[in-house]
Amino acid sequence: MAITIRKIASDLNLAVSTVSKALGDSHEISAHTKKRVLDYAKSLNYVPNTYASSLKRHTTRNIAVVVPEVADSYFATAINGIESVAQQKGYHVIIYITHEDQGKEESILKEFRSGRVDGVLISVSSGGDATKHLHDLAQSKIPMIFFDRVSSQVEAPRVVTNDFESAYQATEILIRRNCRTIAFLGLAPNLSIVQERLAGYHEALIDQKLKVKDNLILFGSSDDSANIAMIHKLLVSRSRPDGIVAATEKLATQVYTVCHSLRLKIPGDVKIVAFSSMSTAPLLNPPLATITQPAFEMGKTAASMLFKKLTGKSTAEAEQIMIPSKLFDRKSAE
Protein backbone atom coordinates (compact mmCIF):
# COMPACT_ATOMS: atom_id res chain seq x y z
CA MET A 1 0.00 0.00 0.00
CA ALA A 2 1.40 3.29 -1.04
CA ILE A 3 1.29 6.02 1.48
CA THR A 4 -1.61 8.43 1.22
CA ILE A 5 -2.69 11.79 2.37
CA ARG A 6 -5.00 10.11 4.78
CA LYS A 7 -2.23 8.31 6.56
CA ILE A 8 -0.30 11.54 6.92
CA ALA A 9 -3.39 13.20 8.27
CA SER A 10 -4.10 10.58 10.88
CA ASP A 11 -0.47 10.25 11.91
CA LEU A 12 -0.27 13.98 12.37
CA ASN A 13 -3.72 14.32 13.87
CA LEU A 14 -4.88 16.58 11.11
CA ALA A 15 -7.74 16.52 8.67
CA VAL A 16 -7.06 15.24 5.18
CA SER A 17 -8.10 18.54 3.74
CA THR A 18 -5.55 20.30 5.88
CA VAL A 19 -2.86 18.01 4.65
CA SER A 20 -4.03 18.41 1.08
CA LYS A 21 -3.90 22.15 1.35
CA ALA A 22 -0.56 22.12 3.12
CA LEU A 23 0.88 19.98 0.39
CA GLY A 24 -0.57 22.38 -2.14
CA ASP A 25 1.07 25.26 -0.29
CA SER A 26 -2.26 26.93 0.29
CA HIS A 27 -2.25 30.28 2.01
CA GLU A 28 -4.97 29.10 4.33
CA ILE A 29 -2.52 26.92 6.20
CA SER A 30 -0.14 28.14 8.88
CA ALA A 31 3.54 27.99 8.19
CA HIS A 32 3.99 25.72 11.14
CA THR A 33 1.49 23.13 10.01
CA LYS A 34 2.81 23.29 6.49
CA LYS A 35 6.27 22.52 7.68
CA ARG A 36 5.06 19.69 9.83
CA VAL A 37 3.19 18.15 6.92
CA LEU A 38 5.89 18.70 4.36
CA ASP A 39 8.59 17.29 6.58
CA TYR A 40 6.58 14.26 7.48
CA ALA A 41 5.56 13.68 3.88
CA LYS A 42 9.13 13.86 2.79
CA SER A 43 10.25 11.51 5.51
CA LEU A 44 7.66 9.02 4.33
CA ASN A 45 8.63 9.59 0.74
CA TYR A 46 5.09 10.52 -0.02
CA VAL A 47 4.15 10.82 -3.69
CA PRO A 48 0.62 11.93 -4.52
CA ASN A 49 -1.52 9.62 -6.56
CA THR A 50 -1.90 11.28 -9.91
CA TYR A 51 -5.00 9.37 -10.77
CA ALA A 52 -6.96 10.49 -7.81
CA SER A 53 -6.18 14.09 -8.42
CA SER A 54 -6.78 13.75 -12.13
CA LEU A 55 -10.15 12.25 -11.46
CA LYS A 56 -11.02 15.07 -9.19
CA ARG A 57 -9.62 17.95 -11.19
CA HIS A 58 -10.36 16.67 -14.65
CA THR A 59 -6.88 17.37 -15.78
CA THR A 60 -3.96 15.04 -16.19
CA ARG A 61 -0.72 16.86 -16.97
CA ASN A 62 -0.31 14.51 -19.89
CA ILE A 63 -0.13 15.58 -23.48
CA ALA A 64 -0.28 13.27 -26.44
CA VAL A 65 2.05 13.46 -29.40
CA VAL A 66 0.78 11.58 -32.40
CA VAL A 67 3.32 10.96 -35.14
CA PRO A 68 3.52 8.68 -38.14
CA GLU A 69 6.97 7.48 -37.23
CA VAL A 70 9.61 8.01 -34.62
CA ALA A 71 12.76 6.69 -36.28
CA ASP A 72 12.89 9.70 -38.55
CA SER A 73 15.06 12.65 -37.80
CA TYR A 74 12.32 15.18 -38.31
CA PHE A 75 9.90 13.61 -35.87
CA ALA A 76 12.56 12.57 -33.41
CA THR A 77 13.83 16.12 -33.28
CA ALA A 78 10.37 17.62 -33.10
CA ILE A 79 9.61 15.34 -30.16
CA ASN A 80 12.71 16.67 -28.51
CA GLY A 81 11.40 20.17 -28.92
CA ILE A 82 8.01 19.23 -27.57
CA GLU A 83 9.48 17.41 -24.63
CA SER A 84 11.69 20.32 -23.76
CA VAL A 85 8.73 22.57 -23.14
CA ALA A 86 6.55 19.86 -21.63
CA GLN A 87 9.17 18.96 -19.11
CA GLN A 88 9.63 22.54 -18.17
CA LYS A 89 5.90 22.90 -17.59
CA GLY A 90 5.74 19.68 -15.59
CA TYR A 91 3.79 17.80 -18.23
CA HIS A 92 4.28 14.27 -19.44
CA VAL A 93 4.53 13.33 -23.07
CA ILE A 94 2.74 10.24 -24.31
CA ILE A 95 3.90 9.15 -27.73
CA TYR A 96 1.56 7.49 -30.18
CA ILE A 97 2.89 6.11 -33.43
CA THR A 98 0.47 5.67 -36.28
CA HIS A 99 2.89 3.99 -38.69
CA GLU A 100 1.12 5.90 -41.45
CA ASP A 101 -1.99 3.86 -40.74
CA GLN A 102 -5.14 5.88 -40.56
CA GLY A 103 -7.07 3.14 -38.81
CA LYS A 104 -4.60 3.28 -35.98
CA GLU A 105 -4.78 7.03 -35.98
CA GLU A 106 -8.53 6.87 -35.59
CA SER A 107 -8.49 4.53 -32.65
CA ILE A 108 -5.75 6.53 -31.00
CA LEU A 109 -7.67 9.77 -31.29
CA LYS A 110 -10.82 8.09 -30.09
CA GLU A 111 -9.07 7.06 -26.91
CA PHE A 112 -8.25 10.63 -26.15
CA ARG A 113 -11.82 11.26 -25.23
CA SER A 114 -11.23 9.04 -22.23
CA GLY A 115 -9.48 11.90 -20.55
CA ARG A 116 -6.07 10.36 -20.58
CA VAL A 117 -4.48 13.50 -21.94
CA ASP A 118 -5.14 17.21 -21.62
CA GLY A 119 -4.13 18.07 -25.16
CA VAL A 120 -2.88 16.67 -28.41
CA LEU A 121 -0.11 17.52 -30.85
CA ILE A 122 -0.49 15.71 -34.10
CA SER A 123 1.20 15.26 -37.42
CA VAL A 124 -1.26 13.31 -39.48
CA SER A 125 -0.64 9.98 -41.15
CA SER A 126 -0.55 9.52 -44.88
CA GLY A 127 -2.71 6.44 -45.01
CA GLY A 128 -6.07 7.75 -46.10
CA ASP A 129 -8.24 10.76 -46.60
CA ALA A 130 -10.69 10.49 -43.75
CA THR A 131 -10.90 13.50 -41.48
CA LYS A 132 -13.86 12.65 -39.31
CA HIS A 133 -11.72 11.57 -36.41
CA LEU A 134 -9.78 14.82 -36.62
CA HIS A 135 -12.96 16.81 -36.77
CA ASP A 136 -14.37 14.96 -33.81
CA LEU A 137 -11.34 15.69 -31.74
CA ALA A 138 -11.19 19.32 -32.83
CA GLN A 139 -14.81 19.62 -31.78
CA SER A 140 -14.21 18.07 -28.39
CA LYS A 141 -13.05 19.83 -25.28
CA ILE A 142 -9.52 18.63 -25.67
CA PRO A 143 -7.27 21.05 -27.53
CA MET A 144 -5.40 19.85 -30.57
CA ILE A 145 -2.57 21.44 -32.48
CA PHE A 146 -1.28 20.31 -35.84
CA PHE A 147 2.39 20.42 -36.63
CA ASP A 148 4.07 19.86 -39.96
CA ARG A 149 1.56 17.50 -41.50
CA VAL A 150 -1.66 19.41 -41.05
CA SER A 151 -5.14 18.77 -42.31
CA SER A 152 -6.52 21.55 -44.42
CA GLN A 153 -10.04 20.26 -43.83
CA VAL A 154 -9.96 20.69 -40.09
CA GLU A 155 -9.85 23.92 -38.17
CA ALA A 156 -7.19 23.86 -35.53
CA PRO A 157 -4.11 25.88 -34.73
CA ARG A 158 -1.06 24.70 -36.57
CA VAL A 159 2.64 25.14 -36.99
CA VAL A 160 4.08 24.58 -40.40
CA THR A 161 7.08 25.46 -42.44
CA ASN A 162 7.24 27.17 -45.81
CA ASP A 163 6.89 24.04 -47.87
CA PHE A 164 5.81 25.78 -51.01
CA GLU A 165 8.69 28.25 -51.20
CA SER A 166 11.19 25.67 -50.13
CA ALA A 167 10.19 23.29 -52.87
CA TYR A 168 10.19 26.17 -55.28
CA GLN A 169 13.74 27.05 -54.31
CA ALA A 170 14.88 23.45 -54.46
CA THR A 171 13.49 23.06 -57.94
CA GLU A 172 14.84 26.38 -59.07
CA ILE A 173 18.32 25.52 -57.98
CA LEU A 174 18.21 22.33 -59.99
CA ILE A 175 17.04 24.24 -63.03
CA ARG A 176 19.80 26.73 -62.57
CA ARG A 177 22.22 23.81 -62.58
CA ASN A 178 20.88 22.85 -65.97
CA CYS A 179 18.50 20.11 -65.04
CA ARG A 180 15.71 19.90 -67.57
CA THR A 181 13.93 16.74 -66.55
CA ILE A 182 13.19 17.08 -62.91
CA ALA A 183 11.27 14.48 -60.99
CA PHE A 184 9.30 14.98 -57.81
CA LEU A 185 9.16 12.23 -55.21
CA GLY A 186 6.56 12.58 -52.54
CA LEU A 187 4.78 10.56 -49.95
CA ALA A 188 1.05 10.08 -50.31
CA PRO A 189 -0.49 12.96 -52.31
CA ASN A 190 -3.19 13.49 -49.74
CA LEU A 191 -0.69 14.94 -47.30
CA SER A 192 -0.78 18.69 -46.94
CA ILE A 193 2.98 18.98 -46.95
CA VAL A 194 3.29 16.89 -50.07
CA GLN A 195 0.71 19.00 -51.84
CA GLU A 196 2.50 22.18 -50.89
CA ARG A 197 5.85 20.88 -51.94
CA LEU A 198 4.47 19.57 -55.16
CA ALA A 199 2.86 22.92 -55.86
CA GLY A 200 6.15 24.70 -55.28
CA TYR A 201 7.91 22.32 -57.62
CA HIS A 202 5.18 22.81 -60.15
CA GLU A 203 5.31 26.56 -60.08
CA ALA A 204 9.08 26.64 -60.36
CA LEU A 205 8.87 24.54 -63.49
CA ILE A 206 6.20 26.72 -65.00
CA ASP A 207 8.07 29.89 -64.16
CA GLN A 208 11.13 28.56 -65.88
CA LYS A 209 9.13 27.45 -68.87
CA LEU A 210 9.69 23.77 -68.28
CA LYS A 211 7.02 21.21 -68.97
CA VAL A 212 5.38 19.46 -66.08
CA LYS A 213 5.28 15.77 -66.84
CA ASP A 214 3.05 13.48 -64.88
CA ASN A 215 5.34 10.52 -65.26
CA LEU A 216 7.98 12.44 -63.33
CA ILE A 217 5.75 12.92 -60.33
CA LEU A 218 5.81 9.88 -58.11
CA PHE A 219 4.38 9.03 -54.77
CA GLY A 220 5.96 6.57 -52.40
CA SER A 221 4.59 4.77 -49.41
CA SER A 222 5.87 3.45 -46.13
CA ASP A 223 6.88 0.24 -47.86
CA ASP A 224 10.61 0.63 -48.40
CA SER A 225 11.05 -2.00 -51.03
CA ALA A 226 8.13 -0.70 -53.04
CA ASN A 227 9.77 2.72 -53.00
CA ILE A 228 13.08 1.27 -54.06
CA ALA A 229 11.38 -0.52 -56.93
CA MET A 230 9.58 2.65 -57.96
CA ILE A 231 12.76 4.70 -57.91
CA HIS A 232 14.64 2.01 -59.72
CA LYS A 233 12.07 1.98 -62.45
CA LEU A 234 12.25 5.75 -62.74
CA LEU A 235 16.00 5.76 -63.02
CA VAL A 236 16.25 3.13 -65.71
CA SER A 237 13.42 4.52 -67.80
CA ARG A 238 14.00 6.33 -71.06
CA SER A 239 12.80 9.50 -69.46
CA ARG A 240 15.34 9.27 -66.70
CA PRO A 241 15.37 12.56 -64.82
CA ASP A 242 18.53 14.61 -64.44
CA GLY A 243 17.24 16.15 -61.23
CA ILE A 244 15.11 15.02 -58.32
CA VAL A 245 13.26 16.87 -55.60
CA ALA A 246 12.56 14.46 -52.77
CA ALA A 247 9.91 15.41 -50.27
CA THR A 248 11.21 13.21 -47.47
CA GLU A 249 14.57 12.04 -46.27
CA LYS A 250 13.64 8.40 -46.59
CA LEU A 251 13.00 8.86 -50.27
CA ALA A 252 16.28 10.69 -50.66
CA THR A 253 18.31 7.92 -49.10
CA GLN A 254 16.45 5.45 -51.23
CA VAL A 255 17.48 7.41 -54.30
CA TYR A 256 21.07 7.19 -53.10
CA THR A 257 20.76 3.46 -52.65
CA VAL A 258 19.34 2.97 -56.11
CA CYS A 259 21.90 5.25 -57.73
CA HIS A 260 24.70 3.35 -56.05
CA SER A 261 23.37 0.05 -57.27
CA LEU A 262 22.84 1.39 -60.79
CA ARG A 263 26.24 3.09 -60.79
CA LEU A 264 24.58 6.37 -61.52
CA LYS A 265 26.63 9.34 -60.44
CA ILE A 266 25.20 12.00 -58.17
CA PRO A 267 25.30 14.82 -59.17
CA GLY A 268 26.78 13.91 -62.57
CA ASP A 269 23.94 11.78 -63.84
CA VAL A 270 21.26 12.97 -61.53
CA LYS A 271 21.16 15.81 -59.04
CA ILE A 272 19.04 15.80 -55.95
CA VAL A 273 17.71 18.11 -53.28
CA ALA A 274 15.72 16.66 -50.41
CA PHE A 275 13.58 17.76 -47.53
CA SER A 276 15.47 16.33 -44.60
CA SER A 277 16.58 17.00 -41.06
CA MET A 278 19.27 14.32 -41.03
CA SER A 279 22.36 15.48 -39.26
CA THR A 280 24.39 13.18 -41.49
CA ALA A 281 23.35 14.86 -44.72
CA PRO A 282 26.76 16.58 -45.12
CA LEU A 283 28.54 13.28 -44.62
CA LEU A 284 26.77 11.33 -47.31
CA ASN A 285 28.41 10.39 -50.56
CA PRO A 286 27.98 12.89 -52.02
CA PRO A 287 26.84 15.39 -49.39
CA LEU A 288 23.10 15.79 -49.72
CA ALA A 289 21.65 19.17 -50.51
CA THR A 290 18.74 19.64 -48.17
CA ILE A 291 15.80 21.73 -47.28
CA THR A 292 16.19 21.48 -43.54
CA GLN A 293 13.05 21.98 -41.55
CA PRO A 294 13.25 23.66 -38.16
CA ALA A 295 12.13 20.48 -36.46
CA PHE A 296 13.06 21.34 -32.91
CA GLU A 297 11.59 24.81 -33.17
CA MET A 298 8.41 23.51 -34.69
CA GLY A 299 7.98 21.05 -31.85
CA LYS A 300 8.68 23.69 -29.28
CA THR A 301 6.29 26.14 -30.87
CA ALA A 302 3.51 23.62 -31.23
CA ALA A 303 3.88 22.65 -27.59
CA SER A 304 3.84 26.28 -26.52
CA MET A 305 0.67 26.90 -28.49
CA LEU A 306 -0.91 23.92 -26.80
CA PHE A 307 0.02 25.15 -23.35
CA LYS A 308 -1.40 28.52 -24.18
CA LYS A 309 -4.69 26.87 -24.97
CA LEU A 310 -4.52 24.74 -21.87
CA THR A 311 -4.00 27.70 -19.64
CA GLY A 312 -6.82 29.59 -21.20
CA LYS A 313 -4.70 32.19 -22.97
CA SER A 314 -6.27 30.64 -25.97
CA THR A 315 -4.70 31.02 -29.30
CA ALA A 316 -7.35 31.79 -31.84
CA GLU A 317 -8.97 28.84 -33.50
CA ALA A 318 -7.29 28.89 -36.84
CA GLU A 319 -4.02 30.40 -35.83
CA GLN A 320 -1.11 29.35 -37.96
CA ILE A 321 2.54 29.85 -37.28
CA MET A 322 5.06 29.41 -40.03
CA ILE A 323 8.71 28.79 -39.32
CA PRO A 324 10.87 28.85 -42.41
CA SER A 325 13.11 26.02 -43.53
CA LYS A 326 16.66 26.51 -44.71
CA LEU A 327 18.21 25.40 -47.95
CA PHE A 328 21.65 23.86 -47.69
CA ASP A 329 23.21 23.67 -51.10
CA ARG A 330 25.55 20.72 -51.19
CA LYS A 331 27.38 18.54 -53.65
CA SER A 332 24.37 16.42 -54.63
CA ALA A 333 22.90 19.41 -56.43
CA GLU A 334 26.00 20.87 -57.99
Residue 222 touches which member of DNA, a second copy, none, C-beta under 5-8 Å by kind? none
What residues pair up with 213 in beta bridges, in sequence order?
Answer: none
Residue 49 burial (CB count, 10 A): 12
- Residue among 190, 196, 134, 204 nearest 160 (CA): 196
Helix (H, G, I), strand (E, B) or coil at 2: coil
Q: Cβ of residue 220: shortest distance to a second copy, in angstroms?
A: 15
Residue 215 touches which member of DNA, a second copy, none, C-beta under 5-8 Å by kind? none
5 interacts with DNA by CB under 7 A: yes
> Which one of residues 11, 15, 265, 326 is an interface residue with DNA (CB under 7 A)?
15
* Contact in structure between 92 and 303 (CB atoms under 8 Å): no
6 interacts with DNA by CB under 7 A: yes
- By CB under 8 A, name the binding residues for a second copy: 2, 45, 47-52, 54-55, 60, 62, 70-73, 76-77, 79-80, 83, 87, 92-97, 104, 110-111, 113-116, 253, 256-257, 260, 278-280, 282-287
Q: What is the DSSP letter of 294?
A: -
Helix (H, G, I), strand (E, B) or coil at 200: helix
Which residue, 47 or 71, has its beta carbon nearer to DNA?
47
Q: Tell me how far apart the alpha carbons of residues 212 and 1 are, in angstroms, rounded to a whole number.
A: 69
* Contact in structure between 219 and 189 (CB atoms under 8 Å): yes
141 interacts with DNA by CB under 7 A: no
- In the region spanning residues 29 to 48, those forming contacts with DNA, defined by CB under 7 A, are 29-30, 32-33, 48
Q: Cβ of residue 140: shortest distance to a second copy, in angstroms?
A: 9
Q: Cβ of residue 210: shortest distance to a second copy, in angstroms?
A: 29
Cis peptide before 143 (omega within 30 of 0): no
- Which is it for the CA torsion 167, 295, 257, 333, positive or negative? positive
Binding interface with DNA (CB under 7 A): 1-2, 4-6, 13-18, 20-21, 23-24, 27-30, 32-33, 48-49, 52-53, 55-58
